[in-house]
Amino acid sequence: VLRAVGAAVALPWLEAMQPLSALAVTPKRPKLRVGYLYFPNGVAKGGWEPEKVGGDGELLKLNKWMKDLEPFKEDILIARNIWTPRGNGHGAGTATWLTGGSYSGSRVSAGGASVDQIIARQVGKDTMLPSLDMSMKGEGYFSNSLPRNTISWVGEKLPATRDTNPRTIYDRMFRKASDGVTDKGVIDLVNGQAKSLKRRVGRIDQQKIDEYLESLRAVERRMEFAEKQADKSALGQVKGVEFKRP
């Protein structure tokens, strides 16, 4: 981990992290991660239909929409015919997507905790953030509708707090609480440590560090650009930018 006042950046696995005595030993498995992506109106028919499937269900050939997943097809399992009559349709379908329960508008209940939060309780203790709940900002008549904008539930009647601001999400992942306030980006704050580390590792690790930090810097640039554009059009409104429906 690269650390500085107000920032901490976890590094990807580097060859230098593995002791010589462990080279012949099976490497330790990375921390378990799970993610759920919600498409409120589904995807185009056939989007998840592979072109060719083997007799035991293995994916032999993916379709054009899935082509970017080609390197991982041996690890992909596509489930079919999943349906729950308890949360069928409209806001109830969104609210109970990960709970499998029944939604009650009068009691503001999703029927139980969502599966992502249940998993977070078990494996989240091993990570800096047990759960990261992100969402786009709703617009129009239902923009403030709880069931239509919530898929993660800590408990039956307690929705998980969702983030719609990319800057807030980024800061939660990489910034530490600090008394001082700085406008510097996270990468600028840990740059000195990164340079020091690169002098002590091999060429492959140096390249990996550069690529990783540059990918984070690219995210910072995009957020800065989006915030500047938001400032230009805000006309006195609250500063910032949020994930919005395209």
**For each of the chain's 246 residues, which pLDDT tens digit applies?**
666 555 667 676 677 666 644 544 555 677 778 999 988 877 888 899 999 999 888 899 999 999 999 999 998 988 888 777 776 667 788 889 999 888 888 878 898 999 999 999 888 877 777 888 888 877 777 777 888 888 999 998 899 888 888 878 877 777 655 544 455 667 777 777 778 878 888 888 888 888 877 877 777 777 776 767 666 665 555 455 666 655
pLDDT at 66: 92
Give the span between the Cα atoms of 75 and 72, in whole angstroms. Answer: 6
Give the span between the Cα atoms of 43 and 37, in whole angstroms. Answer: 12
Q: Calculate the dihedral angle through the C-alpha atoms of 39, 44, 48, 54, rounding to the nearest 10 degrees.
A: 170
pLDDT at 20: 47
Residues in the chain: 246
Give the span between the Cα atoms of 218 and 185, in whole angstroms. Answer: 11
pLDDT at 2: 66
What is the enclosing helix (H) or strand (E) of 60?
Answer: strand 59-61
Give the span between the Cα atoms of 122 and 137, in whole angstroms. Answer: 29
Enter the tokens of residue 96: 């109970």
Question: Which DSSP category does 109 fall into?
Answer: B
Q: Backbone dihedral region of 160: left (phi > 0), alpha (psi from -120 to 50 degrees) or beta?
A: beta
pLDDT at 235: 52
Enter the tokens of residue 176: 């530490």
Of 1, 5, 16, 8, nearest in space to 170 by CA: 8
Cβ-proximal residues to 45 (8 Å cutoff; 6+ apart), any chain: none
Q: Report which residue type is found at 97.
A: W
